[in-house]
Structure 1
Amino acid sequence: MNEQSILQIRHLSFRYDDEYVLQDINLSIPKGAFVGLVGPNGSGKSTLLKCILRLLKPQEGEIFLFETPIAQFKEWHKIGFVSQKANSFNTGFPATVYEVVASGLTGKIGLFRSLKKKDKEAVFEAIEAVGMSDFVHRNIGELSGGQQQRVFIARAIVSQPEFLILDEPTVGVDVHHVQNFYNMLERLNKQLNITLLLVTHDIGTITEKVTHVACLNKHLHFHGSVSEFAKLKTEDLSMFYGHHLHLLTHDHA
């Protein structure tokens, strides 16, 4: 295999009791890809992420991370995860941006270990990568929802993961800052060569940024390049979603 596979899912199915949430999912993400995973509420997106992160075990199928069966995979430091933080984060938490991002190194250097010079440099580099250098000593509770989410992405990338998974990270982000947020993700993908899997509802915006799109609604109805996705008819998308759908594109000039 010439192109390294970051994630491979083969014939994966997951069910609660007798009800299938995911059925016969086949998905491959190569190194360097930026994949937008879209689908309606209840389509199984969160369940699929939990299977990838080994929080749930599918009843059928296989998952490979970095070409290693997930049961044997040990290099979890290669994977970063950013959840829907905005609705649950305690804004009164007494920590600066620097401290929050530095906490992302705990798994790598150990708990209660002092940061070495190279670790501190990595913290500042991660903060700079998400455009938050001017806020490095600001208490995180003083930041906007979008700024807080940028900090949590910095925390996820400070240990230099090769694969970053984001579960609807723009929840709670002001609509006027969403485009800047996606621009930041695009830079992480292109400049730092981080492979991204982004779960989102914002189909119109992400198609300007991602390299691939996957449409999930219990089954994986589509998985391909952005150019292939652009050729889909509105009727096809409506069928995937189970209801009529208008695909909106945005002019951000």
Structure 2
Amino acid sequence: MDDILRIEDVSFRYDDEDVLQHIHFRVPKGAFVGLVGPNGSGKSTLLKCILRLLKPQTGRIFLFGTPIEQFKDWHKIGFVSQKANSFNTGFPATVYEVVASGLAGKLGLFRRLKKSDEKAVYEAIDAVGMSPFIHRNIGELSGGQQQRVFIARAIVSQPEFLILDEPTVGVDVHHVQSFYDMLERLNKQHHMTLLLVTHDIGTITEKVTHVACLNKHLHFHGSVQQFAQLKTEDLASFYGHHLHLLAHDHA
């Protein structure tokens, strides 16, 4: 199986603080990888290295088999951050307009959408279950609905690899399950490779195909079946505290 992302011996430090230490990590094509770990474990720093916002002191990163320093096809990658938690609800744009703006990098800022582009916008909105709200101002939506729109914006250009940084921050707890169901559909039905940063262990075991546990070192990286066989004390040692602080009950 081809690797969408491959990380070899990556280390990163801020001043005198080691944040990532000798990370070896891969995301196979078609996988849904859950990246978990406590606060301050280096998850956000690793994402910034993958997106080339930070440069590691040591190691190499490959995207689609290409060294990141030479990688040019950024349209193949979509990124969703914790936007809904801090979004300006007064922003004057409809769901359609926000999602269509995701094509700016492909088309340019001032080019009109072609029929095929309009079709892509409608399909992206439908894929995240937001078609009934297509003409609604995004500021009128709930946090969970806004995050769905941001995901639609990220996938409208049809990326092959979607990276999500704790996307359920600000999402009502009663809608978290349906949110993760949507991500599972993107992976299984739309054949999109996903890397999800989350604290939600319950979701990891229910939805993803692979799990990585990061706490400066990569303590575990394997299939969800292998993850399910780990002992509670092993996970507690990875995290540095009892697992019940991270577990989530969808019921």
* Counterpart secondary structure, 2:24: strand
Q: Tell me how far 1:249 sits from its aligned partner.
A: 6.2
* Counterpart secondary structure, 1:155: helix
Contact 2:95-2:138 at 8 Å conserved across structures: yes
| Separation of aligned partners in 1, 2:250 and 2:55 | 42
Alignment partner, residue 163 of structure 1: 161
Unpaired runs of at least 5, structure 2: none
2:22 alignment partner, one of 21, 24, 35: 24
Alignment partner, residue 98 of structure 2: 100
Aligned-partner residue type, residue 116 of structure 2: K
What does residue range 77-156 of structure 1 map to in structure 2 within 5 Å?
A: 77-156=75-154
Question: How big is each residue's C-alpha offset from its partner over 1:189-232, in whole Å with a ceiling of 9 and x where there is no partner?
Answer: 00111100000000112210000000000000000000000010
Contact 2:202-2:250 at 8 Å conserved across structures: no
| Separation of aligned partners in 1, 2:171 and 2:230 | 29
* Counterpart secondary structure, 1:172: coil
Unpaired runs of at least 5, structure 1: none
| Separation of aligned partners in 1, 2:204 and 2:138 | 27
Question: How big is each residue's C-alpha offset from its partner over 1:65-119, in whole Å with a ceiling of 9 and x where there is no partner?
Answer: 0000000000000000000012221010000000000000000011111000000
Give structure 1 regions of 4+ aligned residues with deviation exceeding 3 angstroms: 247-252
Contact 2:177-2:250 at 8 Å conserved across structures: no
Alignment partner, residue 210 of structure 2: 212
Question: How big is each residue's C-alpha offset from its partner over 1:42-72, in whole Å with a ceiling of 9 and x where there is no partner?
Answer: 0000000000000000000000000000000
| Separation of aligned partners in 2, 1:205 and 1:125 | 26
Alignment partner, residue 46 of structure 2: 48
| Separation of aligned partners in 2, 1:40 and 1:16 | 18
* Counterpart secondary structure, 1:207: helix
Alignment partner, residue 195 of structure 1: 193
Contact 1:182-1:206 at 8 Å conserved across structures: no
Give RMSD over aligned pairs: 1.0
| Separation of aligned partners in 1, 2:34 and 2:79 | 15
Q: Give the TM-score normalised by the residue count of structure 2.
A: 0.98
| Separation of aligned partners in 1, 2:128 and 2:139 | 17
Question: How big is each residue's C-alpha offset from its partner over 1:107-158, in whole Å with a ceiling of 9 and x where there is no partner?
Answer: 0011111000000000000000000000000000000000000000000000
Q: Tell me how far 1:245 sits from its aligned partner.
A: 1.5
Give me the identity figure in percent: 83
Contact 2:204-2:224 at 8 Å conserved across structures: no
Q: Give the TM-score normalised by the residue count of structure 1.
A: 0.97
- How many residue pairs were aligned? 250
Alignment partner, residue 174 of structure 1: 172
| Separation of aligned partners in 1, 2:187 and 2:133 | 23
Aligned-partner residue type, residue 51 of structure 1: C
